[in-house]
Structure 1
């Protein structure tokens, strides 16, 4: 069973009982979150603001690596939610994260998708080496977590060299999804939660095992201007209402 830090358990209880206690006047926090969290977090934000009278959440969605670069350069952020542990590790190393506030809140799955109009679909990763798949997309491995998860799987399958000339990299997982929805690539690697958004334009052909679990950590920023409200937002993400929203969008509990 997952064990959360004591402060988070206490904050979650407080948040469940009364989110209105913190926001006696209008307050705002900025949350930088991985692009794959866009739809789920937008709904979580609405729920949080409803439960926390006077509070406002401003979201900044993008590739986890790009968000980290922004924070490193001084962007004002109160809470950071990454699509992978590596990016959060780098944020900790850079001393951007408030000590003791990091905790996992969701899991996801890597899948292979093709355009809905495709007449054939790969049944195994090795099929991507065939002539029928000339353009394959994933995120830029250096800055987009989906790209790193993809490259781990491709390397394990012994397909690194065979697929190297075929890659079309996206700046976020949502851009990769759009390539498929518009029929601009023959196949792509995305998260299951993203594939669910474009069910009429893309279809999942297989689930791809990953060496590293696709887990999402969230943490408060050391330089947060509103640490108290940030703490309550993180607690809301972990609370029953927050987890129910995440599950509706295809995420699983950590």
Structure 2
């Protein structure tokens, strides 16, 4: 055997050994792949502004338990969020402060009827600045001459504005207070108007009143004067992460989540 032939034989043998070695390592590599970290998923939740504090607390708890999921919130007026989804804005879940907005998305087949449910309830209250000395104890007191501006949500897009209008119409006050009304883009802006003294009174949810030490509740609005205030949650059909969206949907209906919502003043529907 000449030197060249001998060298080629040794090279071929080395190649065979190398291939065999790679084959024997294949199971180990497969195990490593199986143990690789799960792909990071960002879920975008369009939610009513009145849910800001409770959902931000739940975000921390949920992300600790699901380290591959990041929750990003788009807070605003439910009607505005509804319109954004209708126009193709990205969203995985929708939490509305009213059933009207959810029904619109179901009717347009953007949310499945079977993948939406009412999860929370709230109350409508009138708030005034903490240093207010106005005698405001009932809806009838809104007609007094000493009362200045009244903050309400936009009636077409802000559910709290719609509930307020219903209540004012129930008490036959809607036309009388028109000159005093200041309209806000969402319930948190109503609260800000009262906190800063830009209005003498405003109508918000009981949960929003609890978040501020700059306002006090003047009176609760009789629930019989407006539609029930309920919050539905639904999975948006266009979600790119149906499994993760469904898991969050279920979590927000759990006892653990309800404990946090209750802390912020929400109740379960029907209670």
Work out whether the TM-score is over 0.5.
yes
SS at match of 1:56: strand
> Aligned residue for 1:132?
146
> Aligned residue for 1:161?
175
Gaps in structure 2 of 5+ consecutive residues: 1-36
Structure 1 residue 99, shift from structure 2 partner: 3.8
> Aligned residue for 2:195?
181
> Aligned residue for 2:253?
238
Give 1:93-104 correspondences, 5 Å limit: 93-104=107-118
Structure 1 residue runs of 4 or more that deviate by more than 2 Å after TM superposition: none
> Aligned residue for 1:105?
119
CA contact (8 A) 2:134 2:147 kept: no
> Aligned residue for 2:240?
225
Structure exhibiting the larger radius of gyration computed from Cα positions:
2
SS at match of 2:63: helix
- Does 2:45 match 1:31? yes
> Aligned residue for 1:144?
158
- Does 2:229 match 1:214? yes
SS at match of 2:112: coil
SS at match of 1:183: coil
> Aligned residue for 2:214?
201
Structure 2 distance, partners of 1:57, 1:132, is 46
Give 1:39-118 correspondences, 5 Å limit: 39-118=53-132
> Aligned residue for 1:20?
none
Structure 2 distance, partners of 1:94, 1:216, is 19
Deviations 1:158-208 (A, max 9, x none): 11111111110000000000000101101010000000111x210001110
Gaps in structure 1 of 5+ consecutive residues: 1-22
Structure 1 distance, partners of 2:187, 2:230, is 15
Structure 1 residue 57, shift from structure 2 partner: 0.6
**C-alpha RMSD over aligned residues:** 1.1
> Aligned residue for 1:16?
none
